[in-house]
Amino acid sequence: MEKLTVALPKGRLFDQTIQIFKESDILKEEVQQNSRKLILETADFRFLLVRAKDVPTYVEYGVADLGVAGDDLLMEMKPDVYRPVDLGIGACTIMVAGLPQDREKYFSNPTSLKISTKYPNIAREFFGKKGIEVQIIELYGSIELAPLVGLSEFIVDIVETGRTLRENGLVVIEEIAPSSAKLIVNRATYKTKNQKVMDIIEKLENTLVKG
């Protein structure tokens, strides 16, 4: 039988997804990301280990049938894929944050703001709705550094435990949206391999309902 290809982000979400697949009886074997191999094969699946941000691309283009991606990336990239199951892992919140002394400026009806972020589209859309013009400074990591060194007063980033903000003297200023990881499905796969995909969705939902 033809294997399904699944694009998974390397790291914690990979392990958590494998765990859920095993608990749901979708996957029978052990799968571990302990080598530099980028493709891991089991009897029924071919797992592609990719950067989290690349998962939607692999699934949208159909080289992967399925994938796991957070709402943060789905909101940012708006890929044309199905998102049938909330896996309830990778929970975090997309926030505006900054230094405590800059809160007042933020809430004083500014007409423009400078924002450092790895989510330029989310930031533009969020502030666009408020009628605030934004100058986006796009960064790829350690976003919390930006207000500390004066690159921008505010950031848009995900907050998980809040530890990075706390340890750098930053505070949450406004919540944009909650985020958790979703199972995503290529649109063609959904039609051509419908039975297989529906079986996986059903098994995942059963496990997730049981908690």
Say which residue the tokens 């199972």 belong to.
Answer: 183
Give the span between the Cα atoms of 63 and 74, in whole angstroms. 18
Give the span between the Cα atoms of 95 and 92, in whole angstroms. 9
What residue ranges in 51-204 does DSSP mark as E strands? 66-70, 82-86, 92-98, 112-117, 133-138, 154-159, 171-179, 181-185
Does 181 bind ligand PRP (CB under 6 A)? Our answer is: no
Query: Closest distance between ligand PRP and the C-beta of residue 93, in Å?
Result: 9
Does 191 bind ligand PRP (CB under 6 A)? Our answer is: no
Does 68 bind ligand PRP (CB under 6 A)? Our answer is: no
Say which residue the tokens 């494998």 belong to.
Answer: 18
Cα–chain center distance at 178: 11
Residue of the chain from 62, 84, 120, 162 that contacts ligand PRP (CB under 6 A): 162
The stretch among 33-41, 109-117, 139-147, 200-208 that binds ligand PRP (CB under 6 A) is 139-147
Does 163 bind ligand PRP (CB under 6 A)? Our answer is: yes
Does 120 bind ligand PRP (CB under 6 A)? Our answer is: no
Query: Closest distance between ligand PRP and the C-beta of residue 197, in Å?
Result: 29
Say which residue the tokens 């199905």 belong to.
Answer: 82
Number of residues that bind ligand PRP (CB under 6 A): 12
Q: Which residues sit at the interface with ligand PRP, rule CB under 6 A?
A: 141-144, 157-164
